[in-house]
Amino acid sequence: MRRVGVLFWAWGASLAGSSGCDGGATAAVCSDGVVGSGEECDDGNLLAGDGCDPACRLEAGADAGADAGPDAVPDEGLDAEADAASDGPLVIAGGDVSGSWCGPSQVNASVTVPAGETLEICAGSVVTFAPEAAMTVAGTLALRGTAGARVTLTSSAQWPGLVVSGTLDGAFADFRNAARCVDGRRGSAITIGDSTFEGCDASIRVASGGTFDRTVVRGGAALGISGGILRMTDSSIDLGHRGTPPDCTNFDAGGAVLDHVRIGGCHCPLHVNRTTEEVTVTNSVFDEAAVPVMIAQSTATFHGNHFLGSGPGMMDIGGSIAADVAGNYWGGGAPDISTSDPGQFTGTADYSTGPIPGAGPR
């Protein structure tokens, strides 16, 4: 017997094409196309001989799943299958997904939000991924957490993480235990606020930049920037390796606008191999490091920052630098910059002899 269009729901969950419910009880009406209480079938008419009789009972020899109603959809092609009791989690078997997930959800195989579609995860939801289950976002993934009801994406073991070529819009979200929590590909649009990354091998990779406000990254490997502008405000990155590898960030292209951030607990908080856009860093703290800034092949502006490390505050690692370093705090003395060409750094005579009020996240 072929099951047709059967979806099992957890309270508050919805999938692509669902219309929700209004919470009221409605008496079953035979021939309305909806299989209601006391009906075995409802094909939207009162005709006999079509498998469903005028009293909405299955006729002899009828396939219970073949024509249960006018809106029946075969299993094949379902965006996702929810298989849970009414008081249990929403279970996603894999495939294309859209609509909304509310409450606890279990993702058992890799899923994709297709281009042109949106998946919204409601405030307070915890989505648990199986170790092999990734989420690819070609459309839009909206994480609608609030201060009192955060969204959590996690796994009991390490899961692959999010691969984003579309749009990721997240607020009050916690990303946990992924190989790459957020892997932003070229063409992606990523905006994250009031969120945390923890237990990820690599928390963030971006090829088209991204905006991160009031975001905390704990542990893992360097944030990788290979294109676009990394914008961070009132955020912190601490890998928990004071003065030792890995580095906290790694720029191979793109640029950065960092304001009121704190980056430390690693070998080099700001490691810039090369950028194709300007790097602007203001009112920020780079500490618990061997070398706070390593830079090459970049145009950069640093104002109102703290550079505190066991080695030089800034190191030239490849030349072709145009950096304005006026108005920073280097631990109490003049700027300590390791370079064979001091002319690449301007403003070295202008520095603060004491900590700068307001530097770091507010």
pLDDT tens, 156-181? 999 999 999 999 999 999 999 999 99
Residues 254, 169 within the same domain: yes
Is 2 within a domain?
no
Is 251 within a domain?
yes
Residues 309, 168 within the same domain: yes
Check residues 266 and 9 and name the one with the higher pLDDT.
Answer: 266
Q: Which residue range forms the structural domain that includes residue 256?
A: 90-352
Residues 69, 174 within the same domain: no
Its pTM stands at 0.78
Is 186 within a domain?
yes
The arithmetic mean of pLDDT across residues 312-317, rounded, is: 99
Residues 55, 127 within the same domain: no
Residues 198, 100 within the same domain: yes
For residue 24, give the amino acid letter.
Answer: G
Q: Which residues of 264-301 are buried (b: 16+ CB within 10 A; e: fewer)?
A: bbbbbbbbbbebebebbbbbbbbbbbbbbbbbbebbbb
pLDDT over threshold 50, residue 349: yes
Residues 112, 48 within the same domain: no
